[in-house]
Structure 1
Amino acid sequence: MCSAKHVDPQVPFGGVNVIFFGDCLQYRPVYDSPLHTVFSSSKKKQGKIPSEKEIQQRVSRSLILQMNCVVKLTQQMRTEDLRYLQLLDRLRHGQCNYDDYELLQTRVVGQPTIESLHDSPWNKAPILVFRNEVRTQINNKAAIHNATQMGDPLMVCVAQDTCKGKAIEDPILRKKLLELSDSKTEHLPGLLPFVPGMPVILTQNIATELGLINGINGVSRQLVYHEDWVLTQNLLEMFPNNTKYIRRPIYALIEITKSKIECKLQDLESKLIPIPLVEQTFRIDVADILPKDKKPKPNQKTTLSIKTSCVTTCACLLHYNA
């Protein structure tokens, strides 16, 4: 910014006013010090030259000290339960009381055996898991069950992957991409099951001013697509043989009751929101799927840049990773 403004490099941010946004409740840096740390000058007294890192730390602290206005945001935008919100605030300060303990005890499942997650009220209970792969398997099984109960074939959105602007035709590479965990594909799964009437969660901010934010709940209503882009061949064994694979969906209609859209959209019922396609780019190493006669040399790169698109701003069901 100093270069762009043609000012002295010692002028912070080129003399431009800067607004920082951050979470003050984050953990301290791992094996490092926060920017506001006061550093000792003992090394200077001993005649030792400070390292480049120490110089940068002191410069960072000098920038922090130049902040002249702090605005603390305290309004909770997601938690509507006041009692639970107060519990979380006391928990943050390590000041929970016995009433908080009693409240948490009401959420303990207890000794009774849960015979099936398909029975009420467990069929609507969120399930917290620690790995994306487990969440995906639970969602897939639940989607298959609900489609079977409705008597309709399961619909699965298939991500469209391209490399250098061309569609990927190699079946081995294509299968590998579809099976990748969404933690490796910028959170866009290769295959996303869709069942009308099932709960979903938005996984990206679409329009924050309208309440269409990451984490808001909704209900899937309809997947809009052209019949010409439907495959009936079984891409993966995890799904039933009668599954309809939608190669190029246009958008998904999601009912979001908490959205702030005051008027209904044209030709749509109130609170019915169209969720469009999303594109992301990720990189993948393909060395393990190359034929033996095409194995790369040690100094050759085998990483491809893949662009993927799908209706994947909705994570199927209320099962998500912690």
Structure 2
Amino acid sequence: MQCTQKVISQIDCVGELNQQMRTENVRYLELLNRLRKGQSTIEDYKLLCIRIIGTPNLQASLQQKSRKEAPILVFRNALLTQINNRAVLNKAMEMEFRSIVCLTQDYVKETRIEDSQLRKAILELPDNKTEYLPGYLPLVPRMPILLTENIATELGLSNGTRVIFRQLVYDELSDDIQFDKTVFPKHTKFITQPKYALVEFSSCKLDSELKFDIKELLPESLSKITKMAKRTTKISIKRKALPLTPAYSITTHKSQGQTLSKIIVDLVTPPGPVEVA
């Protein structure tokens, strides 16, 4: 630390970048500058329509299968979770499947959390607070999912890989489970003891289906402030979960480095700093 401070203290000048190097299109560059300042115009909108959708003569519709299956790019994890949950539930209704939600197992000092209020509060934490391990993982056959861990990089199964979910194998256990009734319907089946998930990976080098063993992760930054015995206590949580997340919607951050043939972009800019993907 002292060495770092010594090096920083020797810096006596700062360089300022004043030229955009990623695009040579002057009109588009001006659009980006106005977008960052929240000063977009109707002409900017027309230009984006051409760049994102295509020429004015292109007949495109969100009802087309290829576009209905395109992921929705959003800026915030909270919106991502809502879209993914709703998309999975709608898919289950269309297929007349009972909704299935896989719950994480959370532990404090190697002991499973049994307090219902604390458990519910931790399950409902946004995944950007839990090292991107959501408390609720809704699943339905043939839905797109993303891997959230490097499983077998030599096979192309790495963090961010897009696969198709087929089946969840789990132990049948009766459990008094707390859940958000405003999101999941009453007949939802909650799974607390998953064994593994069967997925389809189109570009895999193996011919057979792959099984992902359940992953036990220990996020360093995961903590929850909760009131216990009228005191504010900070506790560290150890979470066990499948390394999967629905892929109906992804964040602009998660999309970086991916090749997506079609996407749907949410152009409503949320408050606060945003990224240009």
The TM-score with structure 1 as length reference comes to 0.60
Other-structure match for 2:239: 308
Whole-Å Cα distance in 1 between the matches of residues 81 and 63 of structure 2? 17
- After TM superposition, give the deviation of residue 104 of structure 1 in Å: 9.0
Whole-Å Cα distance in 1 between the matches of residues 175 and 78 of structure 2? 26
Q: Which segment drifts farther, 244-253 or 198-207? A: 198-207
Aligned partner (choices 110, 117, 122) of residue 165 of structure 1: 110
Other-structure match for 1:89: none
Aligned partner (choices 239, 247, 261) of residue 317 of structure 1: 247
Q: After superposition, give the CA deviation of every residue in 1:253-299 in whole Å (9 maximum; x if it has no partner).
A: 110111233xx4xxxxx3x2212212223442434x335xx325xxx
Give 1 or 2: higher strand fraction: 2
Alignment-mate amino acid for residue 231 of structure 2: K
Alignment of 1:248-267 (within 5 A): 248-261=193-206, 264=207
User: Partner of 1:236: helix, strand, or coil?
Assistant: coil
Alignment-mate amino acid for residue 247 of structure 1: T
Aligned partner (choices 92, 97, 104) of residue 147 of structure 1: 92
Please, which runs of 5 or more residues in structure 2 have no aligned partner?
11-19, 30-46, 253-277
- Structure 1 104/207 Cα, relative in aligned 2: closer, same or farther at 3 Å? farther
Higher RCO, 1 vs 2 (CA within 8 Å, ≥6 residues apart) = 2
Other-structure match for 1:127: 72
User: Partner of 1:260: helix, strand, or coil?
Assistant: coil
Q: After superposition, give the CA deviation of every residue in 1:33-79 in whole Å (9 maximum; x if it has no partner).
A: xxxxxxxxxxxxxxxxxx965743599xxxxxxxxxxxxxxxxxxxx
User: Partner of 1:227: helix, strand, or coil?
Assistant: coil
Alignment of 1:271-310 (within 5 A): 272-282=209-219, 283-287=222-226, 289-291=227-229, 294-295=230-231, 302-310=233-241
Whole-Å Cα distance in 1 between the matches of residues 23 and 64 of structure 2? 37
User: Partner of 1:136: helix, strand, or coil?
Assistant: helix
Other-structure match for 2:172: 227
- Structure 1 95/182 Cα, relative in aligned 2: closer, same or farther at 3 Å? closer
User: Partner of 1:245: helix, strand, or coil?
Assistant: strand
Whole-Å Cα distance in 2 between the matches of residues 177 and 165 of structure 1? 16
- Structure 1 160/285 Cα, relative in aligned 2: closer, same or farther at 3 Å? closer
Please, which runs of 5 or more residues in structure 1 have no aligned partner?
1-50, 60-91, 265-269, 297-301
Alignment-mate amino acid for residue 284 of structure 1: S
Alignment-mate amino acid for residue 251 of structure 1: Y
Other-structure match for 1:33: none
The TM-score with structure 2 as length reference comes to 0.69
- After TM superposition, give the deviation of residue 245 of structure 1 in Å: 0.3
Aligned length: 221
Native 8 Å contact 2:168 2:197 kept in 1: yes
State the 4+ residue runs in structure 1 displaced beyond 6 angstroms.
100-104, 109-112
- After TM superposition, give the deviation of residue 227 of structure 1 in Å: 2.0
Q: Aligned Cα RMSD in Å?
A: 3.5
Whole-Å Cα distance in 1 between the matches of residues 22 and 111 of structure 2? 55
- Structure 1 274/118 Cα, relative in aligned 2: closer, same or farther at 3 Å? farther
User: Partner of 1:144: helix, strand, or coil?
Assistant: helix
User: Partner of 1:186: helix, strand, or coil?
Assistant: coil
Percent identity at matched positions?
A: 37
Aligned: 1:138 with 2:83: yes
Whole-Å Cα distance in 1 between the matches of residues 202 and 49 of structure 2? 28
Q: After superposition, give the CA deviation of every residue in 1:184-240 in whole Å (9 maximum; x if it has no partner).
A: 111111010011011112122111111101222111000011123577x66211101
Whole-Å Cα distance in 2 between the matches of residues 57 and 146 of structure 1? 54
Native 8 Å contact 2:77 2:126 kept in 1: yes
- After TM superposition, give the deviation of residue 109 of structure 1 in Å: 7.2
